[in-house]
Amino acid sequence: MREDDQKPAPQQVDVAIIGGGLVGASLGCALSELIDRHQLSVAVIEAAPLPSLTDASEQRGQPSFDARASAIALGSAQHFMSLGLWEAMAERAMAIRCIHISERGRLGAARLRAEDLDQQAMGYVIPNAWMGQVLHRRLAELPLGWHCPARVEDIQPVAAGHLLTLSDGNRLEAGLTVLADGGRSGLKEKLGIHSQVRDYEQVALITSVEVSHPHKGIAYERFTDEGPIALLPMSGQTMVLIWTHEQGLEKQRMALSDGDFLAQLQCAFGDRAGRFRRVGQRYAYPLSLITAEETVRPGLAVLGNAAHALHPVAGQGFNLALRGVMDLVAALSEGLEQGEPLGSLTTLLDFEQRREADRDGVIRFSDGLIRLFGVEHRLLSHARAAGLVGFNLAGPLRHGLARRAMGVLR
């Protein structure tokens, strides 16, 4: 007798979502209409304890809902609107009215203004912990099977889809499994899905800083010899700082006293955002571009960071992933109308086709920014400065970039 024959039969579900982070939780919410219309059984398996539904402070140990804040493109805000989540998200969203791009030591600067595009905002900055709370409050209202905290420890393809073995002893058999585990759990590799990895050999240092002047909704992207610095507007006079460092150099900045850190930041960034007065806790994130070589198989879709982890310089990772969530749900909905089973390869290839151009375009865009402005190509600086000046003049190019930043360019 095989060991499996002695275990209780696995629970059958239509959809299993591995990971209840930003992407898995968004997918759960986006499936709500299909759950209703087709009486789908959906399970979400999340390894880290759930975010508190009453306390929106950061979730320690939860990779998605930590102390970061994310730049949410206008297109993503519209998706949240369509899911009925925007009203709650907006309670802590700060509008980005202008994106100011400059290079230290060069004259060129580009400004992308929402008003030039007849918009109120280019996008919004929302604390990740708040997004987690809004998403999980909504999920708690849906008829989902919750497995949390529980880790998917094994995944095996079977005739009906995939068999998942959970750390709490449960087993699930799902017609469609969505891998939204952030790509670090080893499940992709267990399935033999390879990834291309480009280690940027950079580390993003993230914290919040208080500035002396009102930020007026301006987000700054400043390229320095040491790497890009982004400042995103938050409530009051607080801004989120994303300071990219060559690997190793961040250690020294992590260890500085607050006063020395602020002084070095001021020196690197200059005065255009005012004087930096107070700094919050600092966190370090190693950066690489990771792209999965396969994102669909019969009964399997790979989403979010598991499919593509990008450099955060252009604030595109989650925005891209959310468009993936929406396209997956649209493909599933059409497939179901046409009588296709949920995990059908026809449906999933339709999803893959919807994603391809957007995904490749965004990856090229953010990777191109790093190559053009990253720490490794200092010799390009003259060309870059010329490019930035040209940028301010060249309307179509600027508008193209603005539309990409707003997440409305496909």
Ligand X SMILES: Cc1cc2nc3c(=O)[nH]c(=O)nc-3n(C[C@H](O)[C@H](O)[C@H](O)COP(=O)(O)OP(=O)(O)OC[C@H]3O[C@@H](n4cnc5c(N)ncnc54)[C@H](O)[C@@H]3O)c2cc1C
- Residues of this chain that interact with ligand X (CB under 6 A) are 18-24, 45-48, 62-64, 68, 70-71, 151-152, 180-182, 185, 187, 204, 206, 242, 285, 304-306, 312, 315-319, 321
Helical residues (DSSP H) of 247-373, grouped into ranges: 249-255, 258-269, 317-337, 345-373
Closer CB to ligand X, residue 70 or residue 224? 70
Beta carbon of residue 166, minimum distance to ligand X (angstroms, whole number): 8
Check if the beta carbon of residue 336 is closer than 8 Å to that of residue 38: yes
Beta carbon of residue 349, minimum distance to ligand X (angstroms, whole number): 22
> How many Å apart are CA 97 and CA 390, to the nearest integer?
22
Name 18's bridge partners: 45, 179
Residues 6+ apart with CB under 8 A from 194: 292, 293, 294
Indicate the residue type of 178.
V
Closer CB to ligand X, residue 300 or residue 385? 300
Closer CB to ligand X, residue 147 or residue 344? 147
The three state secondary structure string of 9-75 is: CCEEEEEEEECCCHHHHHHHHHCHHHHHHHCCCEEEECCCCCCCCCCCCCCCCCCCCCCCEEEEEHH
Count CB atoms within 10 A of the CB of residue 410: 12
Taking alpha carbons only, the member of 195, 198, 257, 180 closest to residue 24 is 180
User: 127: helix, coil or strand?
Assistant: strand
Closer CB to ligand X, residue 102 or residue 165? 165
Tell me which H or E stretch contains 76: helix 74-82
Beta carbon of residue 59, minimum distance to ligand X (angstroms, whole number): 9
Beta carbon of residue 227, minimum distance to ligand X (angstroms, whole number): 13
Tokens (6 digits) for 111: 């400004």
Closer CB to ligand X, residue 315 or residue 374? 315
Alpha carbon 14 to its chain's center? 26
Closer CB to ligand X, residue 23 or residue 262? 23
Closer CB to ligand X, residue 177 or residue 185? 185
What are phi and psi for residue 322, nearest 5 degrees? -65, -35
Beta carbon of residue 109, minimum distance to ligand X (angstroms, whole number): 21
Beta carbon of residue 60, minimum distance to ligand X (angstroms, whole number): 12
Beta carbon of residue 26, minimum distance to ligand X (angstroms, whole number): 8
Residues 6+ apart with CB under 8 A from 65: 21, 22, 51, 58, 59, 128, 129, 131, 132, 133
Beta carbon of residue 135, minimum distance to ligand X (angstroms, whole number): 10
Closer CB to ligand X, residue 187 or residue 385? 187
